[in-house]
Each structure stands twice: as structure tokens, then as C-alpha cells.
Amino acid sequence: MAEEITQRTPPEASHQPPPTGEETEVPLPLVPESASEPPLASVEQELQKDSVPTTQVQLPVEEKLEEAVGIVEKDTPLEPPPPESSLAKEHVAVTAREKDSATPVSKPLTAALVVPRESVSPNAQPKTEPELEKPIEKKKAPESLVSFKEESNKLSDLSDYERRALEEFKLLVQQALTNHLFAAASPSQNASLPGEVSIWGVPLLKDDRSDVILLKFLRARDFKVTDSFIMLKNTIKWRRDFNVDELLKEDLGDDLEKVVFMHGHDKEGHPVCYNVYGEFQNEELYAKTFADEEKRMRFLRWRIQFLERSIRKLDFSPGGINTVFQVSDLKNSPGPGKRELRIATKEALHILQDNYPEFVAKQVFINVPWWYLAFYTMISPFLTQRTKSKFVFAGPARTAETLFKYILPEQVPTQYGGLSVDFCECNPEFTVDDPATEITVKPATKQTVEITVNEKCTLVWELRVVGWEVSYSAEYIPQRGYTILIEKTRKMAPNDEPVVSNSFKISELGKIVLTIDNPTAKKKKLIYRFKVVPYVA
């Protein structure tokens, strides 16, 4: 009897919600051209290299069980309801297989896990023959979702024009380094300054990382070499005047750690930065941050420090991740009426637009209030298509669904609809590395997840429905047919705990059934994951 099975349930791409008109790409009101990306936060040192959730997970037990069991979900067509009932059923089977191994998985392991999902709707009707033959019309994604593609920094991927511009730029930089043009504000200081100039910890012209830095300045100025060189020269001077290297060593406190923070990665491996403007509704924090010029300058220094520490954790190799995915939460944002915040933001933007080009891969703005739409209408004509193509706009009702387009649910914090928490005290069995499955629960529908286990084990699971307003229950049905109630049916309100976690020790083979009853007229997003751990008698 197997003592351990490691479980991987990959997110289903087929269940991701299609783009709708409620989601539109737009820029942040206070963010100018691509050279003026908003401030970043700290970036996790280890970037997720592969977000495809088929990677094996291994548990330190007996050698024969160290090879992970891969889980694959398969959809089967909807079945028409039986004559005595108007219920429609949907089954999704999960089979087990050994991933990337030439040795076949044993029959007991192959049949160890089966997870059918059943969607029951009282209003479901069987499809007629013409409906079945009618081809499915594909929904075209909004142009804004595909208009911007992050450029490659590999020399082989550059156009001839871009390569020539880069070579010309490097010649100008080399001349400036030789003549100490980057080093001093006046010629009298040249002799005492080092011959090497670094920016964001990368020495200019020392290796191919320097090319990535220079390409950022070139793209910020449309590959106009002279303009790019002037921008670089001014940036190096500003960094010296602002004393950025010394700023990195200062202790500026952690009062704003909830305003800007890093959490997880997007599906392409970019670290994700969250900007929570609603935190400034706290009058004490607002006054402490923006009340006078001295406090605003301290805030500015904190933002630059955060930004610099973030950038230095990026990978500036030509094929590395050197940009950040930004999420700006405008829920309860103070808005443009706050004069002090407006002044501080304007000062920050002047610095960012001139000295931090091309550091944002995508901007997603969530919980956007009505005043933002009016503001965007005014500033939109002044923004380039490149800038606007980087941004996504989503209202409060679409926050989680929009984030899931770009970030896996297990990487999204719980406050934004995902399963990820900073400290997994609620269920330490799961981390951001454990993939989740998304299911759309239709209105007035009962969704059932059945997890059949054919070996003794302990099954651990967690799930949530974004926004809840559903009923949830869990039960265990052994093969002999009786039912053990694990969690009785309870109505889950929007203000209830975001994630439900539980486990069950299976000593007699059977299945665990998780039931979500959606009585509302709105579709719901169900997210769940589970794993099998060794059985302990």
C-alpha cells in the first residue's frame, strides 16, 4: 500500500473568463509616458522560472514514493438531464500519471485519484440538434490586451535599426567614460573620480547586462540616440546628486509597508508589485506622510529607496526578467482632491519619468472609482499608444477575474480573490508553489467536486468562492455507500473568512465530495486545490 502520493492539480486554462467590455486598458492618472513608470516595491530574489503547474512536488519519504504523481484533468461534454429530472451534469476526470519518466506508473497509483466535477442546474435544457451542429463563435480579445508585447533584449532579436542605434549609443557612452563626462559636475573633479560608472548595480559597458540598461533608455526615447544619451547622462548626474547609493543604507522605517508591497509573480515570471492607495484614508498615516515639505521629502526618499532595492533584485541578463508587473488598487483612494498627495505624486513623477525608464511590463488598475474615468478622459489624448497599451482597467466586480488573466490564483493575495497569504497559519500545507484549479459556477447551479482516492491517505484541501454568497459543504462517502458529514452545509457571506481549509484521514477507500450551491443570478469563481499526504494510523 502506498504511503504517500504527491498531488498536483494544474489550473484549467479553459475555465479562464473571456475578456469583456468591462475590462479596458488605460493608464494611471498620474503616470506619464513609458519613461515615467510608477514606483516599484521590493522584488523577491528568486523569480518563478516556470509558472506552468505541472512541476512535480516531492515529499521526503521512502525512495519508492519520491517520484511525484502528475494529475491531468479532462473535460467531458455536458450530458442532457434524465427524464425524471431537469439536472445537467458535467464531469471532469482526473487521472494520475508519472511525469517525465520512462517508467510506467503502477496500476494502483494510476487509479489512485479520480476527481469528477458535477455541475447541476435546475434550469438546464438539453441542446437541440441544430444547436449542437452550430460552430462555436470565438470571442475576439480586445485589441488593448494584445497591442503591447514586451520587447526582447537579446541582440539576435533586435532589428537592424535597433542594433545600429545600440552600437552608436555604446560608442557615445564609451567616449563619455573615457573623458569622465559622467563622473563630475565640473572638470576640476575629474581626477579624483573612479573610471567605472554603475547604474542599478550594473557597470556600464562591462558585460551584456549593460546592453539591457542602454536599451531601456533607447526605448524610452524611440531609439533616438542623442536623446537617449542625454537622458542617461542626466540620470547619472541625478543619482549622484540624490546620493542614491547612500540612500540604500538608510533606515526609513516600515510605516508604508502596507501601501506598497511585493507578492508573487505573474504567469510570465515578473514579480508583482501591489500599490494600495486606500491605505492613505488613514488620517494619521496621511498626515505623517504628506503634512509638510519635510515629510513629503522623506516619503519621496522612501519610495526611491524601495524602487532601488527592487530594481537591484531583477535579472538584467538579456534573457532575464528585468521588469515588474504592477497592480494599483484604487479602492477608497483619496483621489485628486488631496493637495498634499497631489504635490508629492507630482514630485515623484518628475523623478521617475526622467530616471527610471521601461521598468513596468504591465499595469493593472483595480477597484477603479468613477472619478478616475473622468480623469482618464481628460488625459488620454496626451498619452502615447505604447503607454496606454501597458495598462488594464477593471472595476470592483471584475478585480479577481481580471487578475487571474495574468496571475495564477495561488499567487494572488487573499484580499484580491486568490489563495495566497503571507504566513500560511490558516493551512501550512499549501504555499504559492501548490497550483489551484479555477471553475466557473453558473447562476442557480450546484457545483460538486468529487475527489476519489483508492489508497489510504490524508487528503488536505482548501477552497474559496470569490465574493461567496453561496452555500458550502463537505462529506465523505466510503465505497460501502454510507455518508460521513465533514462540514455541514453553511451559507458563506462575503465578509466570512476568504479561504476554507480542512483535511480528512481516509482509512476506508471512497470519495470526498465538496459542494458549492450558487443560488444567485451571478456566475461565481470557485478556486480549489488539494494534496495527498501519507496516512498515519
Residue 302's nearest CA partner among 368, 242, 253 is 253
Fold of 160-183+197-242: Helicase, Ruva Protein; domain 3 (1.10.8)
The three three-digit cell numbers of residue 317, written as one number: 541578463
| Residue that has been written with the C-alpha cell 497631489 in this structure | 342
- Maximum average pLDDT range among 213-217, 330-334, 353-357, 479-483: 213-217
What is the predicted pLDDT for the residue at 31? 35
Q: Does the pLDDT of residue 252 top 50, yes or no?
A: yes
**Confidence check: pLDDT of 200 > 90:** yes
Beta bridge partners of 120: 446
Using DSSP's 3-state secondary structure scheme, residue 533 falls into strand
Helix (H, G, I), strand (E, B) or coil at 462: strand
More confident residue, 45 or 345: 345
Q: Is 273:326 a contact under the CB 8 Å cutoff?
A: yes
Q: With 50 as the cut, is the pLDDT of residue 498 above it?
A: yes
Select, from the ranges 16-25, 215-224, 328-337, the one with the highest average predicted confidence (pLDDT): 215-224
Answer whether 456's CB lies under 8 Å from 504's CB.
no
- CATH superfamily to which 248-407 belongs: CRAL-TRIO lipid binding domain (3.40.525.10)
Q: Tell which residue, 322, 306, 303, 326, has the closest CA to residue 314.
A: 322
Query: Cα(103)–Cα(100) distance, rounded to whole angstroms?
Result: 9
Run of H or E residues at 22: none
Mean pLDDT of 352-376: 87
Identify the architecture of domain 433-534 in CATH. Sandwich (2.60)
Taken in order 133, 124, 511, 458, the sign of the CA dihedral is positive
Residue 123: what pLDDT? 52
DSSP H helices in 26-98? none
**Cell 453561496 appears where?**
470
pLDDT digits (tens, 9 = 90+) for 378-411: 767 766 677 778 889 998 989 999 999 999 999 9
Q: Left if phi > 0, otherwise alpha if psi is -120 to 50, otherwise beta: which for 358?
A: left
For position 215, what pLDDT does the model report? 97
Q: CA-CA distances (angstroms) from residue 64 to 3, 69, 107, 114, 358?
A: 10, 12, 15, 22, 49
Question: What's residue 53's pLDDT?
Answer: 39
Q: What is the pLDDT of residue 382?
A: 67
* pLDDT reported for residue 101: 34
**353 — pLDDT class (breaks 50, 70, 90):** confident
Mean pLDDT to the nearest integer, 98-126? 41
- Helix, strand, coil shares of the chain, percent, nearest 5, are 30, 25, 45
User: Is pLDDT above 60 for 49?
Assistant: no
Q: Which residue type does 224 have?
A: K
Residue 95 · residue 72 · CB < 8 Å: yes
**Strand boundaries in 46-175, DSSP class E:** 69-75, 92-98, 113-114, 117-120
What does the pLDDT average to over 19-31? 39
Residues of the chain with CATH 3.40.525.10: 248-407
What's the rounded mean pLDDT across residues 242-271?
Answer: 92
- One-letter amino acid identity for 335? G
CA 371 to chain centre: 26
- Give the chain's mean pLDDT: 75
pLDDT level of residue 146 (50, 70, 90 thresholds): very low
**Cell numbers standing for residue 213:** 540598461
**Is pLDDT larger for residue 121 or for residue 253?**
253
pLDDT value for 463: 95
Instruction: Name the packing angle between helices 339-355 and 225-242 (round to 10°).
Output: 120
Choose among 518, 530, 525: nearest CA to 120: 518
Q: Which three cell numbers stand for residue 112?
A: 489512485
What is d(CA 242, CA 263) in angstroms, rounded to the nearest whole number?
28
Question: Is the Cβ–Cβ distance between 359 and 216 less than 8 Å?
Answer: yes
Question: Shortest CA distance to 214 belongs to which of 227, 226, 228, 200?
Answer: 228
Rounded percentage of the chain residues whose pLDDT exceeds 70: 68
Segment holding 499, helix H or strand E: none
CATH 2.60.120.680 in the chain, residues?
A: 433-534
Please give the average per-residue pLDDT across 186-196, as a whole number: 47
Strand extents, DSSP E, 16-91? 23-24, 69-75
The answer to whether the beta carbons of residues 165 and 217 sit under 8 Å apart is no
What is the pLDDT at residue 373?
A: 73
From start to end of 415-469, where are the E strands?
A: 437-441, 445-453, 457-465
Q: What angle do CA 31, 32, 36 make, to 5 degrees?
A: 85
Residues 416-429: pLDDT tens digits? 999 998 654 555 78
Give the start-end residues of each E strand in 367-456: 391-394, 437-441, 445-453
Nearest to 325 by CA among 370, 262, 245, 270: 270
CB 112 within 8 A of CB 69: yes
CA 413: distance to chain centroid?
A: 9
CA distance 470 to 376: 36
The β-bridge partners of 110 are none
